[in-house]
A = this chain, B = another copy of it.
Amino acid sequence: MKRVTLEEVARVAGVSRATASRVVNGASSVDESLRHAVQRAISSTGYLPNIAARSLVTRRAHAIGLLLPDERRMVGDPHLASVVSGVTRVVRPLGIHLVLMMTGPGTREQALSDLRCGRLDGVILVHTDPADPVPGRLIAAGLPVVLAGRPLKPMPITYVDVNQTAGAALAGRRLKSLGCKRIATITGPQDTAAGQDRLAGFLAEVPDAVVVHGDFTRQSGTAATEKLLRCCPDVDGVFVASDLMATGVVPVLHRAGRQVPDDVAVVGFDDSSAALTSEPELTTVRQPISDMAAEMARQLLRQIEQPRSPATSVVFAPSLVVRDSG
């Protein structure tokens, strides 16, 4: 249980600490026989490099942060596990730690100082409040940061997103191809980029759609549907801007005596687990969350490697998942 240091390894291998270090870090300019001696010494002693000591001199923490919104917004979010998994896939083989931070009082400041004092090499920001000053301060300080989702107001920051507009258009085309005549949409909050884009994309495809506003919550889906049935009782197709919201929509339709999809076709957005537990299972627009998360990690690593490299954005294509609801 006693700690093995590089010094120890070097002694066992009969070389200097510097040479042992070269072998550990894979430098090429080491004689083959010495390299072998060091490798034998490493496995015989069970040597593990001390990351703290390494970080101290390389000024790399070998850790990135994932900044999440508060629990309330995260619980029931279907994507968390996929995001973590996607990032992990990229980051783990490199020995980089993924540090989770959930927003609470002062969390974002904490992240900022972790970044400044070299405890974190970069951060991925999820669900950023448009009024949040932290992303701006991060890019101003030239610190590596990637946003999940397009920022509401344009800023020179790297982000990864799905083509929300195209996804909503996919939904619109689906409803039209089902022969729906009276089409409506229940929107997301219009102070988010996703909410705006999904509405715009849908209207581009179905210009005469009835628009009722929601805010991505289940409750708002229920309320919006009641309103919709009052103002537009002959509706026969509805695009709901999130699956979670759609789980509030379908029961209201059923209670009003409308069969889904026979009387009213419903298309959701997200392909979340809610789409599968809903009855009937939801036709929905899928975002490749895990791949997007992996790309965020890659973008972040690039920025860490090459500080102050220009901001880029990567936009993934959505796809339609046809199930039973529309």
For A49, the closest partner residue in chain B by CB is B117
Residues of B within 8 A of A200 (CB): none
For A243, the closest partner residue in chain B by CB is B277
- The answer, among B48, B63, B80, B247, for a CB contact under 8 Å with A116, is B48
Instruction: From A17-25, A100-108, A179-187, A295-303, give the one contacting chain B.
Output: A100-108
Do the beta carbons of A104 and B78 come within 8 Å of each other?
no
Do the beta carbons of A277 and B102 come within 8 Å of each other?
no
Size band of the A side of the interface? Answer: 35 or more
Do the beta carbons of B71 and A81 come within 8 Å of each other?
yes
Instruction: From A50-58, A144-152, A203-211, A233-241, give the one contacting chain B.
Output: A50-58
Instruction: From A85-93, A169-177, A189-197, A309-317, give the one contacting chain B.
Output: A85-93
CB distance from A277 to the nearest CB of B (A): 4
Known contacts A51-B119, A278-B277; is A84 also within 8 Å of B100 by CB? yes
Residues of B within 8 A of A77 (CB): 81
Known contacts A49-B117, A52-B118, A99-B97; is A81 also within 8 Å of B85 by CB? no
Q: At the interface, yes or no: A273 with Cβ under 8 Å from chain B?
A: yes
How many identical subunits does the complex contain?
2
Do the beta carbons of A104 and B88 come within 8 Å of each other?
yes
Do the beta carbons of B278 and A117 come within 8 Å of each other?
no
Q: At the interface, yes or no: A259 with Cβ under 8 Å from chain B?
A: no
Q: At the interface, yes or no: A75 with Cβ under 8 Å from chain B?
A: yes
Q: At the interface, yes or no: A225 with Cβ under 8 Å from chain B?
A: no
Residues of B within 8 A of A1 (CB): 141-142
Q: At the interface, yes or no: A251 with Cβ under 8 Å from chain B?
A: yes
Do the beta carbons of A118 and B50 come within 8 Å of each other?
yes
Apart from A51-B119, A52-B55: 15 A-B pairs, beta carbons within 8 A: A3-B118, A51-B117, A52-B56, A71-B81, A71-B85, A74-B81, A75-B81, A88-B100, A89-B104, A97-B114, A99-B99, A218-B276, A273-B274, A274-B277, A277-B277
By a beta-carbon cutoff of 8 Å, the part of chain A in contact with chain B is: 1, 3, 48-53, 55-56, 61, 63, 66, 68, 70-71, 74-78, 80-82, 84-85, 88-89, 92, 95, 97-102, 104, 107, 110, 113-114, 116-119, 141-142, 218, 244, 247, 250-251, 254, 273-274, 276-279, 290
20 contacts between A and B (CB under 8 A): A48-B117, A51-B118, A51-B119, A52-B118, A74-B85, A75-B82, A76-B81, A76-B276, A84-B102, A88-B100, A88-B101, A97-B99, A97-B119, A98-B99, A99-B99, A99-B100, A247-B277, A250-B279, A254-B279, A277-B278
